[in-house]
Chain A
Amino acid sequence: MTSVLYDVPGPKARRVSLIGSIVGAVAIAGLLWWAVSILAAQGIFEPERWAVFQIPEVWVLIGNGIIATLSAAALAAVIAFPLGLVLCLMRISDVAWIRIPTRIVLEFLRGMPVVLMMFFVLLVFATAPFAAVVAGLVLYNSAIFAEIIRAGIQSLPKGQREAGLAIGLTSFASRRSIELPQAIRRMLPSLVAQLVVLLKDTSLGYIVSYEELLRKVQIMADFLGPDYLFPVFFVAAAIYIAINFSVSRLAIWIEKRGSKKAAGGVVHVPVAEIPVK
């Protein structure tokens, strides 16, 4: 697409583009240099600031933080997916008194900040922070999973369900053995993308005092002194980004691979259907 917007550059345009690239690179480098010089003025690059990473306990704390983050995300994902599946089936049920209440509940869950749900569980049910984080993530993400799978089912040709019913399957059997396998396969990229969102949202545990990575950073900074806040924060942020980045890559890989394998290829949901976080 990009190439359609402008000509294949000739010698003059190449020169202009090169100059533009250099100017742009210099501007960005200038910004970076400015930021770095501010940091340097604060003494961030003094080696002793980074010497904290020679203390094994620091790495133990960071490691515990990562484990806490990943275990909350993993447990929430494992619970949220089947729950989302059930909610999806209820949402598209033929029975009005199942369909309509489910729709209201889903609407409610999707319109709510995740952190509010975590906070709610934490205070109202007086649970441990871990349970509050997992419960908040499960409530929100099962609603999103339900909507994604629903979009997948609706993207299937009508004939799939009609054929299923025509050969005498019950409505549920048609959903289970005809529609869901295709829908889930088609929506795999969106589902994995939502997993990235879920993983990112575990950091909200910081707010409900769950001791995940970011909270550990805060604890370390409180303990070691404010001078070490930046180095520790920097490393934690880098770890967070690296984990999320790998899961995002996985989503892209599945999308490419899936487009070869899934019948009719993977599908991009009608854009309005995907809630973005």
Chain B
Amino acid sequence: MDVIIENLPAYVDGFLRTLFLSVVSGIFALIFGTLLAAARVSPIAALRGFSMTYVEIVRNTPLTIAFFFAAVVLPRLGVTFQQFEVAAIIALSAYTSAFIAEAVRSGVNSVPVGQAEAARSIGMKFSQVLTLIILPQALRTVIPPLINILIALVKNSSVAGAFYVLELFGYGRQLANAHGDAVLWVLVGVAFFYLLITVPLGYLANLVERKVAIAR
């Protein structure tokens, strides 16, 4: 137990870095994922094909492979990063955006056809139908799954700890090495800080599911 209190600054630093990685990658992934979903339903075949291929490949790629590529293979190919956080953010946002694209797409599909038909019949074009009618409704239905994806993102950011980023898991590894006799408590501390993010987010997802989402 003492080991947690003694190393509290390290825990807090790691916690903040985990938060930072999650928030920044989350924002990039949300933007890129929504664009991918829009491309997936667009009339332009090349965009549809690109979006579909990207999502299929990334969803079937283990995150560790994505990290390995960004943090180990890319530098070998001459793409070097000042900080490994950049590699982590690239891997996490590229990975998460595919799941967000899938969630948003199924949200788009959950909007009743009549909504799109009505919009079409009053003369809206594709971009208007999508941005004014479909996406605002779709985003509400996809909020709970999106929160779940963000929870997964927080947990996934732990992989960064194995690729030279000192976030919670990275500190956990370091502290576990330094305090061989108190490994149990070191890791319990790490677990506590993860739960501090994931459990409230989980409750938020349930709450939103009940309150905000439209029943269909």
Q: Are B64 and A206 in contact (CB under 8 A)?
A: yes
Residue in B56, B60, B76, B148 whose Cβ sees the most chain A Cβ within 10 Å: B60
A145, chain B: closest CB distance, angstroms: 16
Q: Are B62 and A5 in contact (CB under 8 A)?
A: no
Give the distance in Å from the alpha carbon of A244 to the alpha carbon of B59 in the complex: 9
B173-216 with Cβ < 8 A to chain A: 173, 176, 183-184, 187, 190-191, 194-195, 198-199, 202, 205-206, 208-209
B54-92 CB mask vs A (1 if < 8 Å, else 0) is 001101111111001100110011110000000000000
Q: Which residues of B contact A7 (CB under 8 A)?
A: 120
Would you call the interface of chain A mostly helix, strand, loop, or mixed? helix
Give the distance in Å from the alpha carbon of A245 to the alpha carbon of B61 in the complex: 9
Give the distance in Å from the alpha carbon of A113 to the alpha carbon of B209 in the complex: 24
Nearest residue (CB) in A for B184 is: A124
Tally the A-B contacts, defined by beta carbons under 8 Å. Answer: 186
Cβ of A154 < 8 Å from any Cβ of B? no
Q: Which residues of B contact A202 (CB under 8 A)?
A: 62
> Out of A4, A25, A240, which one reaches B117, CB within 8 Å?
A4
A180-209 with Cβ < 8 A to chain B: 196, 200-204, 206-207
A115-126 CB mask vs B (1 if < 8 Å, else 0) is 110011001100
Q: Which residues of A contact B159 (CB under 8 A)?
A: 113, 115, 204, 207
Interface, chain B (partner A; CB < 8 A) = 41, 43-47, 50, 56-57, 59-65, 68-69, 72-73, 76-79, 99, 103, 108-109, 113, 116-117, 120, 125-126, 129-130, 134, 141-142, 144-145, 147-149, 151-152, 155-156, 158-159, 161-162, 169, 172-173, 176, 183-184, 187, 190-191, 194-195, 198-199, 202, 205-206, 208-209
